[in-house]
Amino acid sequence: MEKRNIGKSGLSAPFLGLGTWAIGGGSWWGDNDDALSVKAIETAVEQGITWIDTAPIYGLYHSEEVVGEALRHIDRDKVILSTKCGLEWRHESPVLHKVVDGVQTYRDLSAKSIIEDVEDSLRRLGTDHLDVLYTHWQTPDLNIFPLEETVEAMMKLKEQGKIRAIGASNTTAEFIRGYCKYGQLDVIQEKYSLLTRRIEKQLLPTCKELGVSIQAYSPLEQGLLTGKVTMDTTYPEGSTRNTNPCFQPARRMQTIRLLDSWSDLCEKYHCTKAQLVIALTARMIPGLHVLCGARTPEQAIDNAGALHIALEGADAVQMKWDVDAIS
């Protein structure tokens, strides 16, 4: 199976990774069956989805704990494991992030906090190293948490063998340059889908220049790009879909028509609309990594189908034109 590089780290993985935010549960996702979640992770790896991404804040540590349990049954050397640092609720910091499941969280990108985060994550995950460590959110005030201090701490962890690659999530072109100036940056993790493409102009040129890979989260746009959403689909009060511009009537109709126009391609490639979208998304940006969630083995198997779709050049070009037409 083709693998794609992760920046200049020397690591590589198939383009499709497993996101485990939902596995963490909490008010955003609801309760989960942890045994089923463990099986979903095991199944994903068996199907060729070998990059597993988590974070301490997903379920307030619970996602990492579930991933750690799954790793007890998986050959660690077959997996690219990433987690994140920089969001705190063990202590306060001058930078408030938001309230998560009734808990006040803060941004803390100090060296002390990063090192504590990594040690705690290693323990929960039951491993002696992380393949990729992301800073989860960047600081709005570099006077409080200087970027040089943040990068120095991550470089030190890399020298110690506790992490193998350095990442940044929810970032800017200026921060990308800063990471590279003070040390190293291998990959960024950003929201990207066929409907949300702002990173193509805002971040992609800088990443190409500096050799930084991109991992996309939310490629199915909260389910809108699965082909299962209709104009009559409604969501509970408080759902972020209700305020997502892509779910508003005009944009939703555009999306439904776009997916319907690809029905013949689904028949041609013997795939679902979601699998076709994932396969195309992975071709929109050269070398792009794509992150999809799964809470059951069936969902993991369904996602993995995208790894086996070899889009013909003419089809990929036409689909990109179709996407451009509604962008």
> Average pLDDT for residues 67-78, to the nearest whole number?
97
Q: Which pair of tokens denotes residue 109?
A: 């990108």
What totals of helices (H) and strands (E) does the chain contain, helices first?
12, 13
> What is the pLDDT confidence band of residue 15, given thresholds at 50, 70 and 90?
very high
Cα 47–197–301 angle (5° rounding)?
15
What's the length of the chain?
Answer: 327
The pLDDT of residue 26: 82
User: Which residue did the predictor score with more confidence, 240 or 148?
Assistant: 148
Q: How far is CA 163 from the centre of its chain?
A: 18
Cα 87–90–94 angle (5° rounding)?
60
Break the chain into its structural domains and give their ranges. 4-222+275-312
Active site residues: 58
Topology of domain 4-222+275-312 in CATH is: TIM Barrel (3.20.20)
The pLDDT of residue 153: 98
Nearest CA among 145, 211, 214, 155 for reference residue 183 = 155
For residue 296, give the 3-state DSSP assignment: coil
> Is the pLDDT assigned to residue 57 strictly greater than 90?
yes
Range list of β-strands (E), the chain: 4-5, 12-13, 16-19, 51-53, 80-85, 87-88, 95-100, 103-107, 130-135, 163-169, 187-191, 213-217, 289-293
> Is the pLDDT assigned to residue 94 strictly greater than 90?
yes
> What is the pLDDT confidence band of residue 261, given thresholds at 50, 70 and 90?
very high
pLDDT in tens, 139-189: 999 999 999 999 999 999 999 999 999 999 999 999 999 999 999 999 999
pTM of the model: 0.97
